[in-house]
Structure 1
Amino acid sequence: MAEISAADASDSSPSTDEKDARNGTTQTRKPPPVISLAMLRRAIGDEIASLDVNEVTRRVYEGVLLKDDEKQGQKDQAQPYIHKYWVDRKLNRNCLMVLASALSITWGNDSQYWTKPEEEESCYSGNVNLPIAVLRGVWWLEIKGKCKTIVLSPRTMYEVTIVVKMSSRNHGWEIPVNLSLELPDGNKQGRMERLDRLEKELWIPISIGKFETTPKTVGEISFSLTQTDGHWKSGLRVKGVVFTPTTENKQPT
């Protein structure tokens, strides 16, 4: 596969070229981050060698689905996807979603409390059906997860959000949930959110916290959403936890 250059990865659509020609300028898009090649190879294996530069670029911008890298050598076709990786088109930075299947949910495998229907998620090959987590009802709500920051872009401010949908028939969310973020350097962030105030039947990202990728934050980051006051709650759907680059430095309140 040819090396990706800035010229190869530029947007060469006729409308862009014609506009640049009229303005007497030439637009050049930066190539996607180098790690995107490793992430794509992890997703499709040796097939990457047969792809041209434009196809490689298209796939990493539109997103690839990833299974557990520790089990890539195993021939278990039932192994679930655990991450979605893509490159932010505007900022040209790495993005990652920890899918619901990779989250640790208390009683999450008990159908009395949680179900796992599938919903469509977009990626370079089109829409793929992936399981989400749907709360039937619990007293003790605890959703946790981890992510290695090495896959994120360096020297970049990231916002961590949990993507949820509240059913129009939800119950028991008058008390706020607790959201927490623990960084590899030991620093912790925490905030609270009233989920009953969210617009219903829409996927909405709820901010957990923000952090900058520096040498001190290389490692494993932990996050959680909890509400353990002991009253019955229902009607929550969870798609995953997303790490997206942002130009803002302000911490959420």
Structure 2
Amino acid sequence: MLFPRMLNISWGDNSEYWVWNSRPDSSRLDISKLNPGVNYEVVFRVMLKYPSIGWDVPVNLRLVLPDGQELVHEEDFGTKPESEWIDIHVGYFTTPPLHPNRGKKKISFSLF
């Protein structure tokens, strides 16, 4: 699990657009400890607070895999409930199998 402070969030430092809530159960995950050859799911866990302004148009979710393949789809936040945690599915990826010459592999994901 990656938490918001580890992400690059547009206007993340502007309290007019983003509020940083502290969660006592938060921690950080070193991605080098992911098991090789395992399927993982990328999900944004979000809560829209009233008034949630600007979410009346669909947003794009993107997952870029280590081989450069991009998985993109739209999500309509205007139909999502407010004031409760919801999971927004981005996509799945599989970590590369263990190999002695395995270099660093990266994925990237975004909500825009």
TM-score by length of 2: 0.79
Aligned 8 A contact 1:155 1:214 in 2: yes
Give 1:148 shift. Answer: 7.3
Q: C-alpha separation between the residues in 1 aligned to 2:80 and 2:103?
A: 31
| 2:63 pairs with 1:177 | no
- Structure 2 counterpart of 1:194, one-letter code: D
Aligned 8 A contact 2:44 2:89 in 1: yes
Q: Which has the higher contact order (CA 8 A, sep 6+)?
A: 2
The counterpart of 2:34, out of the listed 131, 140, 152, is 152
Q: C-alpha separation between the residues in 1 aligned to 2:72 and 2:105?
A: 19
Q: C-alpha separation between the residues in 2 aligned to 1:195 and 1:187?
A: 25
Give 1:104 shift. Answer: 0.3
Q: C-alpha separation between the residues in 2 aligned to 1:217 and 1:202?
A: 40
Give 1:165 shift. Answer: 0.6
Distance 1:167 1:113, change over 3 A: closer
Tell me the secondary structure at the aligned position of residue 74 of structure 2. Answer: strand
5+ residue gaps, structure 1: 1-96, 124-146, 227-253
Structure with higher strand content: 1
Q: Identity over aligned residues, as a percent?
A: 36
Give 1:224 shift. Answer: 0.5
| 2:22 pairs with 1:118 | yes
5+ residue gaps, structure 2: none
Tell me the secondary structure at the aligned position of residue 206 of structure 1. Answer: strand
Aligned 8 A contact 1:164 1:205 in 2: yes
- 1:65-97 deviation line (CA, Å, top 9, x unaligned): xxxxxxxxxxxxxxxxxxxxxxxxxxxxxxxx1
- Structure 2 counterpart of 1:191, one-letter code: H
- Structure 2 counterpart of 1:223, one-letter code: F
| 2:103 pairs with 1:221 | no
The counterpart of 2:84, out of the listed 181, 202, 206, is 202
Give 1:151 shift. Answer: 2.3
Structure with higher helix content: 1
Aligned 8 A contact 2:3 2:26 in 1: no
Give 1:169 shift. Answer: 2.4
- Structure 2 counterpart of 1:222, one-letter code: S
**Larger Cα Rg: Structure 1 or Structure 2?**
1
TM-score by length of 1: 0.38
The counterpart of 1:193, out of the listed 70, 75, 82, is 75
The number of aligned residues is: 107
